[in-house]
Structure 1
């Protein structure tokens, strides 16, 4: 492994921060320039070895004509015990912090699959723009359905793994395919955006009206999400290296779509029926932990578990002290181990 990257005085990082990355081609160039530096940051996630893991990066055009970036991590010496299909959070990508999470899961025997949503990470589309949350969900559902149908994977149990906004994506996929998944791991799921991040009612109505005429404009006020999400200050200082993360003000249509989606999910919590593991930091000020409690209480799932971590912020797997990150990873892997065993031999079909 190369020496750990320094967090200060990095000329390449400063240069790339000035590059306009609204389009995917620019984001791909920036990521390629910093990839080696990123993976050598002094973060516990990047200390997981790659030995014994087969990785693959792909670009494929989906049925809507959008080029989607995806990545997979598979155990090298054995058949995966189950598939884990990752749904990332708002603004994020599957090529930075998730690399370390995926390695941990792959070394535990899981086939891990991840993709960047249209407009995020390395996938095609205007950066940070969600013209329709329902279409985004359909793109994710299509991508993972194609993977699950491959002959080498079709007999394996499959799990959704959603972080933050990805929790909302996972729940919407489940509600569309109630019998298609062996379970879901939901980390700080976006069932409701924290009240402090939602504009006052009058301003909210003005912004909703403007979204119909200026959908791509960045006019929605926003706090510093890194400060709100990362409790460990040293890890927070690494977030600028996630250069293709969308960190600007939310675009009007994106904000309206996320707000609409959370309101919709809140009304359907009682329809959730698959086995679920819900993990949330009690000090989360980005997504509301009280709604995770409500999801746990209202879900009709016969098999459900919630873990609330005292003092923890939003980014449980990236921004907490090392001992908390390891604890959360252990909780996830233990739950997957138990439920992949339960699902062996059973047939899970999509509806």
Structure 2
């Protein structure tokens, strides 16, 4: 594409790297932030004879949040969902979220089994749909497997305010049986709804692994199913958690986070609602807002990693 020519959608062309053109390599980028990073593929175990599933994984992730936590002394590990980022599969297609959760759990348990991680406390961390996945992982594991969870604007239930009215979910479910991969579900531009700072919206739009098409029908139906499950099981959640949400979030509903806080059986639970903030709390806000949310997350984690004083 000639220099200066705009992307067909009106956005700038994707950047070479998720952080831009400079520095040229990931190693240089991480070195500039004082952390080390590595990436690889994890072969998820299969109970049947189906094709092998390859998840793209990172140790530290590509998000600035993980760099911040790594600089604060935490080892961070992440995996792309099937069909997302650099993991294998049709782009943006997740036909079975339970299988994806099982794959992620297998990866995290493989990380925990490493000798140099023995005795370390392990926390789940998820934003938006990732928050829902964290809770699904918790509900499928022994109650003491995780020291806690940080849930950032979690999509743990589709709010009645934005849920498609009856009978549309039933129609979508029926049609998905015949055309699950069809990218036909209409949706607003989530970047515009999520990211407050205009310059950061341009950066998000240029992410080279960002999927720019419409949501696939089977993925939307599966997300509705999974969030319906979570919404019905909020009272079974026992993991210690911090949930943070922006009061002006139009992508996930802060009232759902309030419902999670009220319903969860966890004895250690904290909620923070930030006035006027949007969905992308850890990237899309002005820097002073990001530092505020990061500080609250770090304080919560540090408090639960510090040994209690003995009398």
- TM bracket (short chain): 0.7 to 0.9
1:251-274 per-residue CA deviation (whole Å, 9 max, x = no partner) reads: 111000111111110111111111
What residue number does 2:16 align with? 34
Q: Distance between the aligned counterparts of 1:189 and 1:119, measured in 2?
A: 20
What residue number does 2:42 align with? 60
Residues 1:141 and 2:105 are matched in the alignment: yes
User: What's the C-alpha RMSD, in Å, of the aligned pairs?
Assistant: 2.7
Q: Distance between the aligned counterparts of 2:308 and 2:45, measured in 1?
A: 31
Using the TM superposition, give the Cα deviation of residue 60 of structure 1 relative to its aligned residue in structure 2, in angstroms. Answer: 2.7
What residue number does 2:56 align with? 69
Residues 1:287 and 2:252 are matched in the alignment: yes
Give the conservation status (yes or no) of the 8 Å contact 2:83–2:92: yes
Identify which of 160, 163, 183 aligns with 2:124: 160
1:70-99 per-residue CA deviation (whole Å, 9 max, x = no partner) reads: 1112xxxxxxxxxxxxxxxxxxxx53xx1x
1:127-157 per-residue CA deviation (whole Å, 9 max, x = no partner) reads: 0001111111111111101000111112100
Aligned length: 296
1:307-344 per-residue CA deviation (whole Å, 9 max, x = no partner) reads: 00000111101111111111111111111111111489
C-alpha spacing 1:58/1:17, structure 2 compared with 1 (3 Å): farther
Structure 1: gaps (5+ residues): 1-8, 19-29, 42-46, 74-93, 345-351
Give the conservation status (yes or no) of the 8 Å contact 1:284–1:314: yes
SS in 1 for 2:306: helix
Identify which of 280, 292, 305 aligns with 2:270: 305
What residue number does 1:120 align with? 84
Q: Distance between the aligned counterparts of 2:197 and 2:186, measured in 1?
A: 25
Q: Summarize the alignment of residues 1-351 of structure 1 with structure 2, pairs less than 5 Å apart.
A: 14=7, 34-35=16-17, 38=20, 40=22, 50-64=32-46, 65-73=52-60, 94-95=61-62, 98=63, 100-177=64-141, 178-195=143-160, 197-342=162-307
Structure 2: gaps (5+ residues): 24-28, 47-51
